[in-house]
Every structure is written in structure tokens, then in C-alpha cells.
Structure 1
């Protein structure tokens, strides 16, 4: 049984790690959004922007180190990789902001329910961005 579990982990390590750390990134995003929007009372767009930045920072570190095991031997390579990561996350940020503003402000949905649905869409988008474009050298080895 343990051998089977280890074989499955090895085979799907990238996907499983991404789901684990993607889940933790979503928790970071959710908690920061809730703190700034519900507790402090800041607007949805600003709370969401702060939550986005902090969760993307968390996601970059965890994706680099534990999901895609990215090795960047030079500062230039790290800057290029981080720029790509944040650039693609910026694309998903605009989708994130649109879903939140339309879902909460226009459609008057519950902010945390809309945030949950929003994060499901964003996690899937970001997986494809990371797998196909950002950490592609490591991702193609799996």
C-alpha cells in the first residue's frame, strides 16, 4: 500500500504539490481579503489587490521551491523567472478583480462566496500559466 502511494506521489508530484500549495495560497488570499475587507472595512477592489499581491508572493516562493523545483543559477535567471511569474499572475489578477467587482458590487453576491468561486477559476488558470510558460523546463521533465 505504501509503495503504491509513493509511486502515485512520484508520478503526480507536480500536480499534487501544486494543489497543496495552491490551496495554501488560496487560504492566504482568502484570509488577507477577509482581514482587509470584513475586519478593517476597506473596499473590495483594494482588499482584493492586497490579498492578490501577498498570495502571489507566497505562491512564487512555494511554486519555485516545492512544486516545480526550479533551479535558477543566476540573479538574471531569478529576475526573469519572477518577472514571468508575476506577469502571468497579473493577467489572472485582472480576471480576479473583474469577477470580484462584478460578483460583489454589480450582482450583490456574498463577498466570501464570490471569492471562493473566483479562486477556483484563478487556481486553474495559474496552473496552466505555470506549467506551460513559467516553470516549463522543470514541468516538462515530469
Structure 2
């Protein structure tokens, strides 16, 4: 139980940092570079995913060393692509149909994807 609490704490720190990266890149790409929010969201999600992968493998999860590192990376990428799909769907529905400001929608999308990420990474990477 203590290991799970420690892991959740570390996941929260890595996830919070990844969120700040994601949120900042989204804002900069959209507001300063003039990229459409939907494309900016793909860029920001991808940048934060690279950080999240490195930090998760090194600090959060007890990665199954019997699996090859390339296999772990492929699993992580596949799960991240699914997470990106969830993120983009939420962004699209929130902005285009609910007419909510994209930066607010991003907070909700991130919360949902974070839960997905923790559960699936714990299942497939440990």
C-alpha cells in the first residue's frame, strides 16, 4: 500500500509537470504562433508525452525489465496515441459544440486522460 501511495505521489508530480508543459505549449502555439487550437493541442500533447515517458520510466513505474525497452516504448506510444484521441475528442466537443474556451476544456481533457494514463500504464508497463 505504501508503494502505491508513493507511486501515486510521483505520478502526480510527473503528471502535474507534464500538464504545465502541455498547457504552456498549447497556449504559446495558439496565441503567439497563430496555430489552430486543435493542431496546437496535438503538438502540446506530443511534447508533454515525451517528457512524461522519460519521467515515468525513470521515476514513477517499476517497469518490467523482462520486457525489452523498445517493447515498453511501443506500449507507451500506443497508450499515448489512445490518450491523444481521447484528448482531441474532448477538445473538439468542448470547443466546437459546447462553446467552452479551449484552455478550460484542456483542463478537463487532461484530468480524464491522466486517469486513463495511470490505469493503463500500470496495467501494461509493470
TM-score normalised per structure 1: 0.81
Listed as ranges, the gaps of 5+ residues in structure 1 are 1-7, 137-142
Equivalent position of 1:41 in the other structure? 34
Which of residues 75, 90, 99 is equivalent to 1:84?
75
**Cα distance in 2 between the residues matched to 1:107 and 1:44:** 15
Call closer, same or farther: CA 1:11–1:106 in 2, change over 3 Å. Answer: closer
SS in 2 for 1:41: coil
TM-score normalised per structure 2: 0.91
Equivalent position of 2:93 in the other structure? 102
SS in 1 for 2:68: helix
- Maintained 8 Å contact 1:18/1:67: yes
For the pair 1:112 / 2:69, whether they are aligned, the reply is no
Equivalent position of 1:12 in the other structure? 5
Call closer, same or farther: CA 1:68–1:84 in 2, change over 3 Å. Answer: same
Equivalent position of 1:53 in the other structure? 46
Call closer, same or farther: CA 1:11–1:68 in 2, change over 3 Å. Answer: closer
**Number of aligned residues:** 126
Please report the RMSD computed on the Cα atoms of aligned residues, expressed in angstroms: 1.9
**Cα distance in 1 between the residues matched to 2:43 and 2:78:** 16
